[in-house]
Amino acid sequence: MSFKVIGTGTCLPQKVVTNDDLSEFVDTSDEWIFPRTGIKRRHVCTTETLDDLAISAAQKAVEMSGIDPGQIGLVVCSTTSSDHPIPSVACVVAGSLGIECPAYDVYIACSGFVHGLEIADGYFARGRAKYALVLSAEKCTRLVDWSDRSTCVLFGDGAGAAVIEATDDESLPMRGWTKAGFELTLPGQPSKSPYDQHPADYGDSLAMNGRAIFRFAVKAINKEVKALAAEAGIDYHDIDHYIFHQANERILSFAVDHLGIDNDKVVRTIQETGNISSACIPIAMDKLNREGKLHDGDLLCLVGFGGGLSVGSCLIRWQS
């Protein structure tokens, strides 16, 4: 892979809902949620649409990049929670930036941002684009059953974006794989066809087997970190920043212990945002970037995992 990140951006909705707020209408408590998940609060859409979040995050990333939006040759948006599958969120974002390049959404849950980077990398490899806007926008709170305490406390809304530029520098590994599984499911719209005799198998809200996801997640992180390092011919302890999907603090802590890596190298946003599916990784990268923690030459390791079940991972060399 040869690209560099030249701009990042985040947009979170204004309204913040704490664990105590949730306990006013769901049978739960901060005492249950925080120790098991690491989540204290999450941002929740009220007046904002998902498009609003995506456009704002994209604008911030483009502004930081310093390029003219017309130079962008591809827009890829990861989402599984858009308000409208058509037009795609990516099309709406491209329109807001006044550009007419290919623009489409990818639909692979929490690993989607990394897969978006890989798609862009393919465009770069074929000389189809010099710059790409890769973003993730998620409104998870529209998908959960707000009377189900085992899921509604986990998720939040937000968008993260990155502008990347093709380079001729070292090619670093990217990986992706799936293991079909129904540990995390999300129903589509009920069929309107009078001929369709297939029942809606997936309930009416997001559903998950939390313990199975936990086991999958910790194995995926362990496997990806070691595989990426092996492919790059480095010791994974030499990675400077680990940007893992923010599903659960216990998953992150387990990875730290299991891999024996420096806890401070693993970025966290989960306490403030909850799980925002595929938007977690670009938001965490933007946080590190805007806090001035990413330095020229730093090696970043991104691992996304989730519904599908799916995994996407890559190494990125930071260039400032």
CB-CB neighbours of 81 under 10 Å: 24
Among 4, 40, 149, 265, binds ligand ACO (CB under 6 A): 149
- Among 11, 77, 101, 110, the active-site one is 110
208 binds ligand ACO (CB under 6 A): yes
Distance between the two ends of the chain, CA-based, in angstroms? Answer: 18
205 binds ligand ACO (CB under 6 A): no
Site string for ligand ACO, 73-102 (x = CB under 6 A): ------------------------------
What residues between 170 and 189 interact with ligand ACO by CB under 6 A? Answer: 184
Q: Which long-range contacts (CB under 8 A, 24 or more apart) does 124-128 make?
A: 124/2, 124/3, 124/166, 128/73, 128/74
Element (H, E) at 147: none
Which region among 94-102, 169-177, 212-220, 236-244 touches ligand ACO (by CB under 6 A)? 212-220
> At 238, which amino acid appears?
D
Q: Smallest distance, Å, CB 153 to ligand ACO?
A: 4
Among 87, 95, 187, 210, binds ligand ACO (CB under 6 A): 210
Tokens of 76: 């890829």
Kind of pairing between the strands at 184-185 and 3-11: unpaired
Per the document, the length of the chain is 320
Among 93, 174, 247, 281, binds ligand ACO (CB under 6 A): 247
Q: Indicate the residue among 77 and 220 with the shorter CB distance to ligand ACO.
A: 220
214 binds ligand ACO (CB under 6 A): yes
Distances (CA, A) of 113 to 98, 107, 244: 23, 10, 11
What residues between 34 and 73 interact with ligand ACO by CB under 6 A? Answer: 36-37
Among 188, 189, 211, 233, binds ligand ACO (CB under 6 A): 211
- Among 245, 248, 289, 314, the active-site one is 245
User: Is 23 in contact with 30 (CB distance < 8 Å)?
Assistant: yes
* Residue whose token pair is 């009920």: 190
